[in-house]
Amino acid sequence: MNFIRQRIDAIKKPFGKGQKWERFAPAVNAFDTFLFVPNHTTQKGAHIRDGVDLKRTMVTVIIALLPAFIYGVYNTGYQYFIQSGLAFTFWDAMLHGALKIMPMVAVSYGVGLAIEFAFAVYRGHEVNEGYLVTGLLVPMIMPVDIPLWMVGLSVAFAVFIAKEAFGGTGMNILNPALTARAFAFFAYPTYMSGNKVWVSEASNVDGISGETVLGSLAAGNDVSYSMFDMFVGAIPGSIAETSTLWVLVGAAILILTGVGSWRIMVGGVLGAAVTAFLFNFWGANALMSFDWTNHLIVGGFAFGVVFMATDPVSAAQTTKGKWIYGLLVGVFCILIRVFNPAYPEGVMLAILLMNVFAPTIDHYVVEGNIKRRKKRLNATLTPAT
Amino acid sequence: MSADITLRKGLTIPMSGIADLNISSADIADNFVIYPHDFHGVVPKMLLKEGEAVLQGQPIFYSKANPEIKFVSPVSGTLTTIERGAKRRIMSLSIAADGKDNAVAQKLENLDKLQAADVKKYLLESGCWPFVKQRPYDVIADPISTPKAIFISGFNTAPLAADVPFILSSQKEDFQNGIDVLAKLAPKVHLSVDASSVSFLNEVSNAEVHRFKGPHPAGNVGVQIHHIDPVNAGETVWVVGPADVARIGAFFSTGIFDASQMVTVVGPVVKSPTYFKSRIGAAVAPLLTQVGIDADGQIRVINGDSLSGVATHADGNLGFYNNTLTVLAEGNRYRMFGWLPFVGSKIFSMSRTSLSWLLPKRAYALNTNMNGEERALVVTGEMEQVLPMDIFPMQLLKECMVQNIEKMEGLGIYEVAPEDFALIDYASTSKIEAQAIVREALDLMIKEVG
């Protein structure tokens, strides 16, 4: 370990204070701090600090994402082989999926991190770890056959416009990963919706077609999958959104470690469940009469509520605000699904919409606190008689 | 006695190296130092020159902004050096003790006959006034202000901090006397005690006793004020440390400035943590030798607790206010892949991304490593977890950073002191310096609002 440390210190020398490459120090530091927690000690304020840091927090989110990600890799191959009627083993499916998905992950990280590093150098701050999560999320919520250049372009749009334009990590209004998806969704709709995009090779091989559950419902067709399939995730859809089971495992990790807000998750599920339940009574179209329990396990709802809505930067930040925000994400998700057949996947738009309103929610919660304080002050100024 | 006040938010940091409840006799060296930075916001104006003789209790300097406030010598001897820093700011004043303890003695009338103005005058003259601090702003109280109440915290929940009833156990009369003195200055004196134990503090008269339950910072006087009678805009309250109440009491019974100071020397690298009866400004080196230090690298010696104390050196001196001297190992070491979750669980973490939460009984040898680097604020909700006040800490900190005075007022800047935000320093995932931000904001408020 000492040897590695000395090597790194030698490499870092030209990037030190007052040295030739000083302004590129953030880029080198990003790699260094990845290997080693720095030897920095407290200079002011509390002399002791908690063991947690942003890297650890973000890596915890990645760990929580992995079960759904791995299942997504498998499901990509599984859907392909089942649809094309070929015999296959578990590893065939994994391999097929990996060959499709790993390049997307590589492009997403490559493009995103390049922009993040460039901005860190330009602004002279350290590279924030937030993109480690975003970079994995983006491919997880894309259809499998989307061209790699579209992934790259969506990522670039999201990091530039949704994140860095607002000041970078911690300042963004919209969830960057969802912005990437929304960009692709509106810019290249033919690659992002319909019945030819959700299964690997569906657009090249005639025998393969696959519609998402919500897509077929919106088109007025029946659903041919069992509830068990929908829960486990053996259905077509964006790469890693299909399996409610493995998303729940991720949710358990997030809640147990305290990294994800359980309030937002519970709020979201409550909001969606109650809204869908009420629409069950109305039942004017196929999506309205779609059983409310099924609403919770199809499409990207579970994935969105667990991994997207809980993004602490774009979500509401106050405790009360988190409840309101979560509930409204759930309500709007079902509303969009039910009333707008053009966008059967409501959760993306619901979360983006609530991202925009999260600061408003917080504003009123905080304003309540300010009013309480003013009231207390006024009570002392006019003593009760 | 009012009902127990139970606080749920906060965090008691399980640090190793707490002292047993017994008092060792301290070796006291003859070099004493007063650090003017202990008195935040005070610009010292010297009354003595280098080389002049000084008595115990004799003023050495006064506050430029408020000449009535005098700062006295803890010992008799000679003022040897006035150490100045940048812009000729006085960094420290060294006094060589002559071992005679010649003290300025004042003749005081019976306390019963004294009026508030007389009490104030004696406190100012004797050098006891700097022990009276005020909220808002967490600075030495302005003698002209009229407090709506005086608050005393009878327990300390900071990591390894001195046990208040224990250090006062031989000064019960002085403490009661001090309460009686303070009761003359304000309509009400509030004393908060730890609800989980019973001590002589529960029996104190002339003060309203409140019982608090909960993790740190339940023992912070600011948190207690917030729950007993919060400070509104335009109001002032005074706070006095428990040991200083006894000091004031002792002065009013003897007429002599009592410079003795109980101090507990604690920390993970301290071999035998214990309590000492020492003096304000005494050298820490003999104390460190007595307890023994077990560290294989550099150490940090802190006047106060590890959350909001002030760093000094191994050859430095005790501060003006602290009853705790914490010694930590400097954490200037790299840890390979130390950021991985569930790795390095011997570093305590409030978050459950470390397995340390599975071992609630363990005591941790914390050091001064940052355990990460400063980042943008991403994680929400963790600040609220450690601040048991009806205040939105992150929103307040952000308004402090942009110096929006109106918003700061609205969000409760008058109710907080830096020490209340110490746990936010500690717990923050983004490693922000909340105490420094609050201190700067309070200084801005002093300048702009007064």
Same structural domain, B38 and B129: no
Last residue of a domain, one of B254, B284, B314: B254
Nearest to A59 among B340, B368, B429 (CB): B340
Mean pLDDT of the region B95-124: 88
| A363 at interface of B, judged by CB pairs closer than 8 A | no
What confidence score (pLDDT) does residue A193 get?
80
Residue B365 lies in a domain: no
Query: Average pLDDT of chain A?
Result: 89
Interface of B with A in 418-437 (CB under 8 A): 422-423, 425-431, 433-436
Residue B85 lies in a domain: yes
CA separation for the pair A330, B213 (Å, rounded): 39
Same structural domain, B36 and B125: no
The set of residues, in sequence order, having a beta carbon less than 8 Å from that of B356 and lying 6+ positions away, is: A51, B345, B346, B347, B348, B349, B362, B364
Task: Please state the separation of Cα B438 from the chain's center in Å.
Answer: 16
| CATH number of the domain that residue B83 is part of | 2.40.50.100
Low-confidence ranges of chain A (pLDDT < 50): none
What confidence score (pLDDT) does residue B385 get?
92
Nearest to B429 among A44, A53, A369 (CB): A53
Same structural domain, B88 and B127: no
How near does any CA of chain B get to the CA of A55, in Å?
Answer: 6
Residue with tokens 């309103």: A357
Residue B439 lies in a domain: yes
Same structural domain, B38 and B113: no
Mean pLDDT of the region B50-75: 94
Same structural domain, B57 and B145: no
Mean pLDDT of the region B393-415: 94
The set of residues, in sequence order, having a beta carbon less than 8 Å from that of B173 and lying 6+ positions away, is: B249, B253
Q: Length of chain A in residues, anyone? A: 385
Main-chain phi, psi angles of A346, to 5 degrees? -80, -25
The DSSP result for A268-311, as a single string, is: HHHHHHHHHHHHHHH--SHHHHS-HHHHHHSTTHHHIIIIITT-
What confidence score (pLDDT) does residue B1 get?
53
Angle between the A176-187 and A130-140 helix axes, to the nearest 10 degrees?
Answer: 30
What confidence score (pLDDT) does residue A82 get?
86
Same structural domain, B46 and B150: no
DSSP A23: G
- Residue B395: pLDDT band (50, 70, 90) is very high
Same structural domain, B242 and B152: yes
Last residue of a domain, one of B236, B254, B272: B254
For residues A74 and A97, the answer to whether their CB atoms sit within 8 Å is: yes
Task: For each of the domains in chain A, give its residue range(s) and CATH number, in order of start.
Answer: 2-35 (no CATH), 54-369 (1.10.3430)
Kindly state the percentage of chain B with pLDDT values over 70.
100
In chain A, the N- to C-terminal Cα span, in Å, equals 74
CA separation for the pair A78, A99 (Å, rounded): 13
| B401 at interface of A, judged by CB pairs closer than 8 A | no
Asked if B356 lies within 8 A of A39 by C-beta distance, the reply is no
Q: How many domains does chain B have?
A: 3
Chain B positions in Cβ-Cβ contact with residue A35 (cut-off 8 Å) = 336-337
What confidence score (pLDDT) does residue A330 get?
95
Same structural domain, B160 and B247: yes
What confidence score (pLDDT) does residue A27 get?
82
Residue B410 lies in a domain: yes
What confidence score (pLDDT) does residue B345 get?
78
Tell me, what's the ipTM?
Answer: 0.92
Residue closest to A343 by CA, chosen among A214, A202, A222, A180: A214
| B311 at interface of A, judged by CB pairs closer than 8 A | yes
Same structural domain, B91 and B112: no
- Based on C-alpha coordinates, what's the Rg of chain A? 23
How near does any CA of chain A get to the CA of B152, in Å?
Answer: 23
Residue closest to A223 by CA, chosen among A194, A335, A215: A215
- Cα A50 to Cα A262, B327, B333, B370, B380: the distances in Å are 22, 18, 16, 8, 16
Asked if B334 lies within 8 A of A51 by C-beta distance, the reply is no
Same structural domain, B54 and B182: no
Same structural domain, B89 and B164: no
SS3 content of chain A, % helix, strand, coil (to 5): 70, 0, 30
Amino acid at B133: K
Residue B308 lies in a domain: no
The set of residues, in sequence order, having a beta carbon less than 8 Å from that of A118 and lying 6+ positions away, is: none
Nearest to B352 among A35, A128, A258 (CB): A258
Residue B15 lies in a domain: no
Residue closest to A46 by CA, chosen among B14, B219, B155, B436: B436
Chain A positions in Cβ-Cβ contact with residue B429 (cut-off 8 Å) = 50, 52-54, 57
Strand partners, B278: B261
Does residue B136 have a cis bond before it (omega within 30 degrees)? yes
Chain B positions in Cβ-Cβ contact with residue A38 (cut-off 8 Å) = 334, 370, 372-373
Strand partners, B237: B135
What confidence score (pLDDT) does residue B63 get?
94
Query: Average pLDDT of chain B?
Result: 92
Helices (H) and strands (E) in chain A, counts: 17, 1
Helix (H, G, I), strand (E, B) or coil at B23: strand
What confidence score (pLDDT) does residue A278 get?
93
Residue B57 lies in a domain: yes
Range(s) of the domain holding residue B48: 28-97
B337-352 pLDDT, tens per residue?
888 888 877 888 888 8
Residue with tokens 């509930």: A327
> How are beta strands B150-153 and B237-240 bridged, if at all?
parallel
Same structural domain, B120 and B237: yes
What is the torsional sign of CA B183, B189, B192, B193? positive
- Cα B222 to Cα B193, B240, B300, B402, B408: the distances in Å are 14, 11, 27, 24, 17
Does residue B217 have a cis bond before it (omega within 30 degrees)? yes
Who wins on pLDDT, B333 or B238?
B238
Last residue of a domain, one of B53, B74, B97: B97
CA separation for the pair B409, B192 (Å, rounded): 26
Q: Does residue B360 register a pLDDT over 80?
A: no
The full 3-state SS of B231-298, as one line of letters, equals CCCCCCEEEECHHHHHHHHHHHHHCECCCEEEEEEECCCECCCEEEEEECCCECHHHHHHHCECCCCC
Q: Which residue of A has its CA nearest to B385?
A: A319
- Cα B444 to Cα B194, B237, B421: the distances in Å are 34, 19, 17
What confidence score (pLDDT) does residue B274 get?
94
Residue B286 lies in a domain: no
Interface of A with B in 61-80 (CB under 8 A): 63
Tokens of B170: 């031989």
